[in-house]
Amino acid sequence: MPTRRQQYEARIRRRSALIAGGSTALVIAAVLLLVPMAPGWPAVKKSFFNADVFAKTFPGLLDAFLWDVAIFLWSAPLIFALGLLIALARDARSPALYPVRLFGVLYTDIFRGVPVILVIYLIGFGIPGLGLPRPWNSPYIWGTVALVLTYSAYVAEVFRTGIESIHQSQRSAALSLGLSNRDVMRYVILPQAVRKVVPANMNIFIALQKDVALLSFIGPVEIFRQAGVYKSLMANFTPYVGAALIFLALTIPATRYADHLLAKQRRARS
């Protein structure tokens, strides 16, 4: 026999589920009924949701997406390392290292202040323009450099937040044992800070995976460029929808996972 409280809560739960289900069904029905009533719907349906085109282009898009994944995979570790270095540079306390600190500040200000696409253009077209021999003029190299430079600035800020979030008492405890400042950072502060900002960094890396598509503007035939090629060949926009779906298949689970980690962290703290 459930208690009065349990009966009451079960009743509330049933009621809430009913209302949520009903309102969702209503919205879906409205979209399904109203959108096809728009005057341009038949044309949009043909050029964006064409099953034939979708089936023909999807395997090619998937192949091209491997480039996006590859570029992501070799950029991510570089970003992690450079971001950590920049974060530490901004923490350098000795006067001799002042230039390092200044560099850290300027770096994060500049690369967080310029749109990614501009950095990609400037580096992707500018540096190969110096007349470098193959393979050093490859847009894959300089596109990667542009992404690494930009994203390191964001990751550095996240690491710095993490470092600052470690309580002063941890530092005191480590120092009181006679450890050097360097060892305190390396063995006590950083390991805790890096763990703490995993969810925040995951969100940045999800954004990176999407921004790899921007490299299409300087050459690499990755998924966005490939979709553009198909669009021109078939005079149809469906390949873009296919590309979007492929991105979502990767980013939605990753986003969910990051949110899950965040929620877990919040629970652990409370």
Partner 1 sequence: MAFLETRGLIKAYGDNPVCRGIDLTVEKGSLVCLIGASGSGKSTLLKCLNLLEPVDDGEIHFDGEDISIPGLDPQRVRQRIGIVFQSYNLFPHMNAMENVLLAPRRVTGQSREALRPEAEALFKRFGLGDHMTHFPDQLSGGQQQRVAIVRALAMRPEIMLFDEITSALDPELVGEVLDVLRALREEGMTMVLATHEMGFARELADKVCFLDAGVILEEGPPEQVFGAPKEARTKAFLSRVL
Taking the complex as a whole, the smallest distance from the CB of residue 69 to partner 1 amounts, in Å, to 31
201's CB contacts (< 8 A; 6+ apart) are 80, 155, 158
Report how far residue 55's alpha carbon sits from residue 78's, in angstroms, rounded to the nearest whole number: 36
Q: Quick check: 89 binds partner 1 (CB under 8 A)?
A: no
- Pick one of 153, 188, 223, 246: the residue that binds partner 1 (CB under 8 A): 188
How many residues belong to the site for partner 1 (CB under 8 A)? 17
- CB 247 within 8 Å of CB 210: yes
Q: Quick check: 136 binds partner 1 (CB under 8 A)?
A: no
What does the DSSP 8-state code read for residue 132?
Answer: P
Closest to partner 1 by CB, 19 or 173: 173
Q: Quick check: 173 binds partner 1 (CB under 8 A)?
A: yes
Q: Quick check: 178 binds partner 1 (CB under 8 A)?
A: yes
- CB 242 within 8 Å of CB 54: yes
Report how far residue 104's alpha carbon sits from residue 102's, in angstroms, rounded to the nearest whole number: 5
Q: Quick check: 195 binds partner 1 (CB under 8 A)?
A: yes
- Pick one of 8, 74, 98, 187: the residue that binds partner 1 (CB under 8 A): 187
Which is it for the CA torsion 109, 110, 116, 120, positive or negative? Answer: negative
Q: Quick check: 192 binds partner 1 (CB under 8 A)?
A: yes
Residue 222: both structure tokens together: 């990755």
Interface residue list for partner 1 (CB under 8 A):
169-170, 172-180, 183, 187-188, 191-192, 195
